[in-house]
Structure 1
């Protein structure tokens, strides 16, 4: 057999070229969509379960914080005038259309109730204190507020206790800033499950008392 004939036979034995693969082989561009879908579903289920457990743990705070007062069915209507609230300080109800800026703000003068209540609707915690609170306690509260978004603090002259912590529909009055229930309340209710408008902003509105 001539050399040219041998070369033709060699080419014919591999007509698709030396890099050809069997017809039923997986190509590099195929994506395992079934596997991806399976793990996506598993991830979503885990995410929902963790979120549910977290919300359940926060909602149980009503039972674990001694002295906590809860009020339901509070009006969320916007008004332009003065509101007569059932509690002092208020913990919800009709309120002004502008919220009090509550991004870790410490105010040195009393706030207008109607603006402060709007902040509670957005998930903020309002720490009110009676003027004359000892300096070390005042500083302890200021440290908590300046380090925690969705909180604000102000003096409240008519307060019947040294300190009052308020969230929407939740309130706790305390005698001392060192009380561990301060931190319990913040953990439970800063943007907590009681928030009527989750995700609403805490700045960009009223910035003065």
Structure 2
């Protein structure tokens, strides 16, 4: 037998032994554990971050109010904010699928719509026609929104969702669209999936 043949034969057991000792099962197991741990750590990090999923952190001038009452009542409610952005309310919601109302609404019905995920756009009477038309265009093209005048409003325009509100000087303010994107059926909604029609259809 040649020297090269003897060397080849001598290597065979060593190669076979090396293959038998590679712990592929353990490698796969620990790789899986590492992957699971990475996902878990990433999830925990996302949960620990300050919540801005509802757009609150990115919209300048946002007013936020949490822990609002949600009881039904047929009596008038003395709301802390004007217009209100949540609280106890009438059992009938105001129809709000892209509705434009020409006269003021009853607060207690409008607040119920906010509970369902609607955004209520209000404006001070006397708002310039071009601005009012811009607001109407936003509402008529967007479900779960409604528009009405609000005589005691202390700003030209206000957008209200459940526990969220912003007041604006001009309908062209980009924050109006940001608010709509963030809060129409947004994460602040106490009753997601609840309807926005089939209830009160008049002011």
**Considering the TM-score relative to the shorter chain, is it more than 0.5?**
yes
Equivalent residue, structure 2, for 1:115 = 109
Equivalent residue, structure 1, for 2:179 = 185
SS at match of 1:204: coil
Q: Does 1:86 align with 2:80?
A: yes
> Where does the alignment leave 5 or more consecutive residues of structure 2 unmatched?
1-42
State the alpha-carbon separation in 2 of the partners of residues 159 and 110 from structure 1.
11
Instruction: Note if contact 2:97-2:143 (Cα within 8 Å) is conserved in structure 1.
Output: yes
- Which of 89, 100, 106 is matched with 1:106 structurally? 100
Q: Tell me the number of residue pairs that the alignment of Structure 1 and Structure 2 aligns.
A: 157
In the TM superposition, 1:13-162 aligns within 5 A as 58-59=53-54, 61-162=55-156
Q: Name the structure with the higher helix share.
A: 2
> Where does the alignment leave 5 or more consecutive residues of structure 1 unmatched?
1-48
State the alpha-carbon separation in 2 of the partners of residues 67 and 57 from structure 1.
14
Equivalent residue, structure 2, for 1:194 = 188
- Which of 153, 158, 168 is matched with 1:164 structurally? 158
Alignment TM-score, normalising by the size of structure 1: 0.73
State the alpha-carbon separation in 1 of the partners of residues 53 and 143 from structure 2.
18
Alignment TM-score, normalising by the size of structure 2: 0.75
Deviation at 1:57, TM superposition (A): 6.7
The one-character-per-residue Cα deviations of 1:151-209 (angstroms, maximum 9, x if unpaired) are: 00000000000000000000000000000000000000000000000000000000000
SS at match of 2:134: helix
The one-character-per-residue Cα deviations of 1:66-123 (angstroms, maximum 9, x if unpaired) are: 0000000000000011000000000000000000000000000000000000000000
Instruction: Note if contact 1:58-1:192 (Cα within 8 Å) is conserved in structure 2.
Output: no
SS at match of 1:142: helix
